[in-house]
Chains A and B, each alone.
Chain A
Amino acid sequence: MTEHSYLIVLLPAFSFLMIVFFLRWKEKIASLFSIAMIVTSLIMSISVLFETIARNGEAYTASFTMAQLGSFKLQLGLLIDPLTAMMLVVVTAIGTCVEIYSIGYMKDDPRFSRFFAYLSLFLFSMLGLVVSDNFFMTFIFWELVGLTSYLLIGFWFEKKSAADACKKAFLTTRVGDLGFLVGLLLIMYYTGTFNYEEVFAKIGMDVFPPAMLTLAAIGVFCGAIGKSAQFPLHTWLPDAMEGPTPVSAIVHSATMVAAGVYLTARAMTVFVASADASFFVAVIGVVTSLLAATIALVQVDIKRILAYSTVSQLGYMIMALGLYGYDTANGHHSPGFYAGTFHLMTHAFFKSLLFMGAGSVIHAVHTNDIRDMGGLLKKMPITAPTFLIGSLSIAGFPLTSGFFSKDEIVAATFGHPVFTVLTLLIAFMTAFYMWRLCFLTFFGKPRDEHRYEHAHESPKTMAYPLIFLAFMAVFVGWTGIPALSHGFASFVFHAEPYHPHADWMNYIVSSIVGLSGIGLAWLMYYKRKIDPDKLAERFKPIYTLFWNKWYFDELYDIIIVKPILAIGRFFWSFDANVVDGAVNGTAKVTLLWADLKWWFDRWIVDGAVNGCGWIVRAFGSLLKYIQSGRMQFYGLFILFFIVAAGIYKFESAYLNGWIFTDFLEVTTLFVILIGFLSYFAKTIVPESTTKPKREE
């Protein structure tokens, strides 16, 4: 079966295509078809898991070249090792539950088939991410789950909040992907390959300068920060709750957001090679976990509490993995890798259970606000108990899955006292806020009679998955019981198997912490011994800070979103005024120059030409009067010139040029005389006789 494991990935894609092209209008068939596909994937995944166990966890690989240029290759490939096999089962199992659950939850939605198409596309992308054998393919599917997350959050896109949330989710995770991309570039540059095993082998050969390795590791981890909603990119996940609840259950709690953890685990060798990067990872993990837990303490929206809880739990896993890398880099033995991946699995089950339970509650009371709930235990005989089981598990109640995995996380912090204390503090807060939620929702008197009256248990399609997941929420963790000789730890491991041992001290302390969290919630919200409102009043600044989620959204709006938009507008006006202004300015200057030339041409160059003409014309217009055709004038002129010539002759002969010195003077005088005579002629000659008629 393992050699056909690509089918596990492709079946949901097939389902997507079938629904989009053929089954769009046949809602029932569409949903059943997509469930059939994911169930087949589940069965195949289980058999792959058993085969992997039978192979003693030896990795199976296969690859396919997508593009090649010389030695540079882009490949798609399968890497089926225990981590993959485990994740395949988790994703397909929860996928199956969610699809069955959605039949009930999405009933009557006008876009019912489309929902199943999107879910199938998501499962395809997620499974592709899981089986990937190289960074490049991981990145491809990493982005594709981002797309499906976008589509699913914005499923009810008519709501502005949903439309905002899907865009925010996509963009925020993309900021993280930027780092991922830079990490990939560094990895490619120094190792020349993307294949996990080859990269890890190359790292062993010291081809990477240490600083660059740290940068690459942190870069890759940035992807995880975005996708797994870690500080400082955690703000998108709570908003993502605008999507339908089944989506929250699978995409935004159990699988996609766990992809960051998965990637960190997958690339663990890179982190182990850089203690600094690992420490960075651990710190981000614990800070996120603490931050999210504090916010979850005071929220009132049932899904948002679970969302912050998810962020917090993911921080836990990230921290455990980071500490593993740090300890291993320093030569210490650490259960961190086991703890992180183990918690990834148990959390997937109990958190999807909690989300689906919350969906069932919302379906019943039509509100997300836990202040309007209460006493639903009686009304919801399946949802309530399963939800409580899930809450016990997440609170680390002894012998539940959460208990075993959380203990290992605590164990992973040993040697780092600050981390240990914070981890226990977070565990306490987790137990508290989860049970605060439980007591407010299921116990006490109903606070909204109307909603309570109309509340009802959800249909079977929604209830059965809850029962299955509740079972898993308790028992899946038993695979990690230290008493088992071939438990989880000896199956999923990095480098060498870890052998857990029962640490009774740890068990006792963790149990006490978890139980006291539940106890405090019980006192405050069930027994009402302590008034939560008074407490909130007393610690008002802190309460306000938590209530407003540490003001991250507001901060990002001021320091990132608004400035970028402003810069965009600035460049736009720069473009229109300066860059294009230069172009248009050049055109204007050219036009101006042309105008100037035209003026020069018109008045100076042409002016000279026309001036000559004008002078000629002016003379002509005067001289024409002489030629009037009247004999008397001609006689007069002849007489006049004879006299003039006589004077000139006389002057040159007897006065020796006393009056007229040279030819020019004579000519000038002559011209003036003619002019004078012409003028004289004009005054005495009637107009009609001198003006020629042009028409003739």
Chain B
Amino acid sequence: MGILSWLILVPLIGMVYVMLMPKEKVNLIRYGAVIISVIPMLLSFWLTWDYFFNYSGSAAMAYMEGPYEWIPSLNIQYLLGADGISVPMLFLTGLLSTISLIASFSIKFRVKEYFAFFLLLEAGMMGVFVALDFFLFYVFWEIMLVPMYFLIGVWGGPQKEYAAIKFFLYTLFGSIFMLVAILIMYFTSEPHTLNMLELIDHGPTLSHTLQMVCFIFFFIAFAIKVPVWPFHTWLPDAHVQAPTAVSVILAGVLLKMGTYAMLRINWPMFPKALQDLSFWIAVLGVIGIIYGALVSMAQKDLKKLVAYSSVSHMGYCMLALAAYSSVTAIAGVMFQMISHGLITGALFLMVGVLYDRAHTREIALFGGLGSKLPVYTALMLMFSMAALGLPGMSGFVSEFMIFIGAFGALNKVLVGIAVLGVVLGAAYMLRMFQNVFLGEFNMAKWGGLTEINGRELLTVIPLAILTLAIGIYPKPLTDLLQATLDNLVLLMSR
């Protein structure tokens, strides 16, 4: 069995382990889950390392497993593989899963079920990023909904049921379109196949109408996940109600599955449809950027602000995805996916740290925390600055690449409007920062707040280091992506 299968299997083994533990042995469950999740994390690190040195020169799939027959009568196969766009995602998934599990130590209620669901979620996420058979992909895509539904619905905030159901149904609604599109692809191919690599060659041979239909169907499914404006309203609810660690995974990995799937499936499979629709996709992206930023500005809840900032940040991804002919823009998408995963993940962790202590996230209730919690404030400042795209951090590199790439490939006025997001992004972040951290400190009310502790630092420091590392020296990542993206751009420009 190859490394990719292990990435999926180890979390599943972890889940079985957690389920076998008696539920009173909370520490055995927690530490066991964390330790088991370290294995796929290290595997994903090794995979990134190995890919970088041995495979990044070519666009071919690496670490291929299969095709093994699974359901031969329908030609369904077990087929895994990774290339330049999946490897960074696996890295992110491995890292954020472990970090989230560590951040989950504050969960006190039904610990066993929580950790079991979490590990199942990790297996599903890994699977999505490595599956190359549509059936397999669809199974992983759907399987993740189940643990996610329970994680939000059981361990969430006051409106958890509403948020969980909304998340579940919304995503499922999109999945139906995906299923139809998959079936169209299956039945039009000869011999019938669900192998994505083969279907990438099959897609462009379809009639124009069918390409459009499939493209739009896939797009709806993935756009809900990203989320692209106007399919975004499940996101703030899910984020605000979900426990901290789940928000981290949601923002850090789940949203990326949408953009990843676009790059993996939607874009290269139906290039003609993409070329016809790219302007409108860019428009949706720009609306997302500006709209998300403006709505963030009106938020009173810290977590909701971060959630809406995700809408804005993912808007950059959509803008750049529309600029399919530019390698720089597509690299910008990858950078933005990674960078948003790191930064927004960290912001959610930081908000969780404050919420655990203050039991509120109402921005207006705070003020002057900078004098009481210097380390926490410094970290929050760093991540806020990263989120608003300050140079030296990964967000800047990604936004800059996106602008450069999109400006060359898309309508210049549209990109000019998108640039406004840079100021609006700074505005809502700095407003939040001022209201929470600057100004007079209310000693009577918040005198009891304690500084961020060692376990919490352990969760955010790796994200801080990576944010800085990618921001200061992005070249390793561009080198890793280069060959895959060159090939992808060729496919998309067919």
Report which A residues bind B (CB closer than 8 A).
65-70, 72, 74, 136, 139-141, 143-144, 147, 150, 154, 157-158, 160, 162-164, 166-167, 170-171, 174-175, 177-178, 181-182, 185-186, 188-189, 564-565, 567-569, 571-572, 575, 579-580, 582-583, 587
Contacts and interface: CB of A to CB of B under 8 A. Distances in A.
B441 A66 contact: no
Contacts of B396: 140, 143
Given A140-B392, A163-B439, A66 B473 contact: yes
B236 to A, nearest CB: 8
10 contacts: A67-B475, A141-B391, A157-B368, A157-B437, A163-B434, A185-B407, A186-B407, A568-B294, A568-B298, A579-B230
A572 B297 CA distance: 9
B390 A568 contact: no
Contacts of B166: 583, 587
B298 A171 contact: no
Given A158-B441, A582-B230, 18 more contacts: A67-B401, A67-B478, A68-B475, A74-B397, A147-B385, A154-B438, A158-B368, A167-B430, A167-B433, A181-B422, A185-B419, A564-B424, A567-B294, A568-B428, A569-B298, A571-B298, A575-B291, A587-B166
B463 to A, nearest CB: 18
A583 B296 CA distance: 20
A65 B434 CA distance: 36
B292 to A, nearest CB: 9
B408 interface: yes
Contact of B440 (A70, A72, A160, A579): A160
A185 B371 contact: no
B368 to A, nearest CB: 6
Given A144-B390, A160-B440, A171-B426, A189 B407 contact: yes
B403 A167 contact: no
A70 B291 contact: no
Contacts of B437: 157
The interface residues of chain A, by DSSP majority, are classed as helix
Nearest to A181: B419
Given A583-B166, A583-B170, A583-B234, A178 B423 contact: yes
B76 to A, nearest CB: 32
Q: Which of A569, A579, A582 has the most CB of B within 10 A?
A: A579
B478 A68 contact: yes
A565 B426 CA distance: 14
Given A139-B391, A140-B391, A174 B423 contact: yes
B420 A167 contact: no
A129 to B, nearest CB: 11
B66 interface: no
A373 to B, nearest CB: 29
Interface string B454-479: 00000000000000000011110111
B370 interface: yes
Nearest to A114: B374
A575 B233 contact: yes
A147 B422 contact: no
B415 interface: yes
Contact of B482 (A65, A70, A160, A580): A70
Interface in B372-404: 385, 390-392, 396-397, 400-401, 403-404
A166 B429 CA distance: 13
Nearest to A572: B298
Given A66-B473, A185-B403, A568-B294, A144 B430 contact: no
A154 B233 CA distance: 36
A424 B479 CA distance: 57
Given A158-B440, A565-B297, A170 B422 contact: no
Interface string B148-172: 0000000000000000001001100
A568 B424 CA distance: 10
Given A157-B439, A189-B407, A571-B294, A65 B475 contact: yes
